[in-house]
Amino acid sequence: MANFDLENISGVGPSIKNKLNSIGIFNSRDLCFHLPVNYQDRTKVVQLANAEVGKEIFIECEIASCQVLYRPRKMMIIKASDSSRSILIRFFYFNPGQAKQFRAKKIIRFYGALRLGAYGLEMIHPEYQIIDDSDMPTEQCLTAVYRTTKGLSQNQLRKFIKASISSYDGSDEIDLKKYGLVSKLSLIDALDNIHFPDKKIVIDDIAPGGQHPARQRLIKEEMIAFQVGMASLKDRQEHLQATALSTQGGWYKSVLRNFPYELTGAQKRVVDEIGIDIAKTAPMMRLVQGDVGSGKTIVAAISAAQSIDNNAQAAFMAPTTLLAEQHYINLKNYFPDYKESIALLTGSTKAKEKEKIKNGLSSGSIRLVIGTHALFQDDVSFLLLGLIIIDEQHRFGVNQRLSLRSKNIETALIPHQLTLTATPIPRTMAMSVYANMDISIIDELPPGRLPIQTTSLGMKKKEQLISRIEQACLKGSQVYWVCALIEESELMNANPVEETYEQIIKQIPSITCSFLHGKMKADEKLNTINEFKNGKTQIMVSTTVIEVGVDVPDADIMIIENAERFGLAQLHQLRGRIGRGSKQSHCILLHNESVGEIAHQRMDILKESTDGFYIAEKDLMIRGPGEIMGSQQTGVIPFKYTDLMRDSDYLEETRMIADKIYKEDKKNSEKLIQRWLSGSIDFADA
């Protein structure tokens, strides 16, 4: 496949090049592998009288009139009809020149979703094509729809991709059949079929999830490329050098002495696995999975202590200021004799304090730093960073995490890396996506905890629920009440934090109540949480800012208002804020009376199980792996075409082929990595 620069493609100037770069396209090969996310059928014109409301259709109409209105908002309204029925076409975003295109008697083809408006059939912002010749043929193949960005139209992308595919010269073909790949199609035939499917092909067969041979051919090659890439990555990691952290001294003894509970068997096992890894000179890459409340933070604290006992520093990265502050308080309690050597660095750290912390990190006097994205800033460097701990890595960008690995002032040694996640990853996913990492699982909750009881309730019963909450608070309960939004929104039928807070204090004034949301100042948020933690307030109304890391052992009731607005993993995370003491805890999912089928599914799954791995499997089935992993952010290589859950049947076949190619054919291995991963592989060890 001839691979050339974007500037060599007609119509690509500096502005368009930047837009293409922003969606991961840097050359003509990337355009060939920018695969469709869906298709439109513009091969036949549909009569309006036969069309189904709610479906996307292709129509040909004669324009009756076009006018621009300014109330209730600026819009262009076109009245049009075919031989069977009339329709209104609305555009809210348009330029003055466009209005001139829709002159009376003009014949125009529109493609868009047909809906029923106040005045009959209508389409909003359809794609359109002006017909100069009444015998102009329709498309001969299905029309591909691509992931794009603002200012880069589908038609531009289609044109650039067509130019790139037509430049194929056969030089890039890899004979995968000799390694065992079963497929009737060559790579270029598969790409031709995917980008320009024949009009006889059923969309469901060629679209994501379909069984068309071209789709299977590309999925298998992508899985092979990914697994070859992971093998290459593992090789590279083994050649890097890290500081061996084998001594267990004063810091290590301090954390064990000041942790108020006995470690569970699972925690001890994971601590041992990490201890063995960081005692080696090859940098550790370990992922610790543990359900909410399983005690990952103490495992991380013990690992940090071992790093510091070997004259190295440790950095603990948290995704939010709130969580960083919680970790800072807990870690100071574990190391009471070393408080002067522990620092908190966030975006809200005052300039004078920040300068002092930066000096302490570069001189080595600060041994343990807890921080947010502020740790990534160019002017932050370490004397010897031995261990990076990343809490919930999918919330950090790849380049940010890479930048932290190169912050040692006087050495090229790479820090060991420990990643914590409370999002359980199904085995199929973990083996493939995290193939370059060792995985530890904390599969045991601390003793004495009772399973949380989860129920759901319609919004009409909100007042009754508040009355029940009053009775529970009088008996000593503490309540989280989570809302979907901070303030009123015209777009969502969801109650904001302050409205619910007002309703509660009005209905049950004898119960102390506070509210918390992301727009509050950092010290206000911390004060609100501390008052709740110390029992001064009994109900805390909050946004999802409390989703990760807020630990109040006495809280035993979680109410999630507009539960239908939350994803399954998020609902499970929120529920994990309770059930941390010995009391029976309750989670109530408060939802609108009419909710969709998927929202019902999510709530039913949550009611039937508290097992994070089971919930993650179900979530994967509902949402697919891209959303679960947050792959655009994680540094996990984003798949262009593969869905690991859906396509897991191909894993074994493609793994065997990948092993064979990587061992026998380094040249073709590199070709596959360049073709499918194109730069991503550099980041996958971040």
DSSP 470-483: HHHHHTT--EEEE-
Note whether residue 563 is domain-resident: yes
More confidently predicted of 385 and 136: 385
Structural domain including 497 reads: 453-609
Spatial separation of the C-alpha atoms in residues 646 and 123, rounded to whole Å: 34
Same domain (yes/no): 258, 198: no
Q: Is the pLDDT of residue 321 over 90?
A: no
**Backbone torsion region of residue 380, taken as left when φ is above 0, otherwise alpha when ψ lies between -120 and 50, otherwise beta:** beta
Spatial separation of the C-alpha atoms in residues 616 and 421, rounded to whole Å: 12
Same domain (yes/no): 436, 500: no
Same domain (yes/no): 131, 167: no
Same domain (yes/no): 469, 403: no
pTM over 0.85: no
More confidently predicted of 680 and 101: 101
The kind and range of the H/E element at 351 are helix 351-363
Question: What average pLDDT does the segment 85-91 reach?
Answer: 95
Same domain (yes/no): 52, 31: no
Of 172-181, 252-261, 309-318, 674-683, the range with the lowest mean pLDDT is 674-683
Per-residue pLDDT tens for 54-76?
Answer: 999 999 999 999 999 987 788 99
Dihedral sign for Cα 550, 554, 556, 560, please.
Answer: negative
Q: What is the CATH number of the domain that holds 385?
A: 3.40.50.300
Note whether residue 491 is domain-resident: yes
Spatial separation of the C-alpha atoms in residues 670 and 673, rounded to whole Å: 5
Give the number of other CB atoms < 10 A from CB of residue 410: 9
Identify the pLDDT of residue 567: 83
How confident is the prediction for the chain on average, in pLDDT? 86
- Angle, helix 187-195 to helix 154-166, in steps of 10 degrees: 160
Identify the pLDDT of residue 134: 66
Identify the pLDDT of residue 679: 58
Identify the pLDDT of residue 343: 97
Per-residue pLDDT tens for 261-296?
Answer: 899 999 999 999 999 999 999 999 898 988 877 889
Spatial separation of the C-alpha atoms in residues 361 and 355, rounded to whole Å: 10
Same domain (yes/no): 25, 64: no
Same domain (yes/no): 519, 502: yes
Note whether residue 614 is domain-resident: no
Question: What average pLDDT does the segment 637-662 reach?
Answer: 81
Q: What is the CATH number of the domain that holds 90?
A: 2.40.50.140
Same domain (yes/no): 171, 120: no
Query: Last residue of some domain: 442, 469, 503?
Result: 442
Identify the pLDDT of residue 429: 65
Same domain (yes/no): 260, 372: yes
Per-residue pLDDT tens for 109-121?
Answer: 999 999 998 889 9
Per-residue pLDDT tens for 429-468?
Answer: 666 667 778 889 998 888 878 889 999 999 999 999 999 9
Same domain (yes/no): 438, 564: no
Query: Last residue of some domain: 115, 138, 161?
Result: 138
CB 283 within 8 A of CB 416: yes
Note whether residue 229 is domain-resident: no
DSSP state of 394: G
Same domain (yes/no): 153, 255: no
Note whether residue 644 is domain-resident: no
Note whether residue 648 is domain-resident: no
Q: How many domains does the chain have?
A: 4
Per-residue pLDDT tens for 328-377?
Answer: 999 999 999 999 999 999 988 999 999 999 999 999 999 999 998 888 78
Note whether residue 224 is domain-resident: no
Same domain (yes/no): 383, 302: yes
Q: Is the pLDDT of residue 254 over 90?
A: yes
Note whether residue 628 is domain-resident: no
Query: Last residue of some domain: 442, 463, 487?
Result: 442
For the chain, helix (H) and strand (E) counts, in that order, are: 24, 22
What letter represents residue 37's amino acid?
A: V
3-state secondary structure of 389: strand
Per-residue pLDDT tens for 531-586?
Answer: 998 999 999 999 887 766 577 888 999 999 999 988 888 899 899 889 888 889 99
